Each structure stands twice: as structure tokens, then as C-alpha cells.
């Protein structure tokens, strides 16, 4: 479980960095690219949180 928690932390840091890059992007294409990455990472975080919760219960 420790490895899953560590990966969760890494994903959250990556989300934060991608949001910064998205906000700083000068072109619509780059903003859209980083927004897609943020959306994907957030979906992964949700799945990982569910897996961690399930593992903790049993």
C-alpha cells in the first residue's frame, strides 16, 4: 500500500505542475494539451484512491 500512496502523491504533484504549465501556456493548443493531461491524471487519482480505500478495508 505504501507504493500506492507514494504514487498518489506523485500524481498530485504532476497535476499541479501540469496546471501551472496549462495556465502559463500562450497557445490554445498547449493549453488544451495540458488540460487533457490534467483530466487524465485526475481520473487516475480517483481510481487509485478507490483502490487504496478498497485495500484498506480488506
- CA angle at 8 for the pair 40 and 41, rounded to the nearest 5°: 5
The overall longest dimension of the chain from CA atoms, in Å, is 47
pTM score above 0.85? yes
Overall domain count for the chain: 1
Q: What is the pLDDT of residues 5-57, one digit of tens each?
A: 999 999 999 999 999 999 999 999 999 999 999 999 999 999 999 999 999 99
* Domain membership of residue 22 as a residue range: 2-57
pLDDT band with cut points at 50, 70 and 90 for residue 1? confident
Amino acid at each position: 500500500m505504501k507504493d500506492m500512496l507514494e504514487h498518489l502523491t506523485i500524481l498530485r504533484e504532476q497535476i499541479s505542475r501540469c496546471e501551472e504549465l496549462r495556465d502559463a501556456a500562450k497557445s490554445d493548443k498547449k493549453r488544451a494539451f495540458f488540460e487533457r493531461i490534467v483530466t487524465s491524471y485526475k481520473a487516475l487519482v480517483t481510481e487509485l484512491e478507490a483502490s487504496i480505500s478498497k485495500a484498506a478495508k480488506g
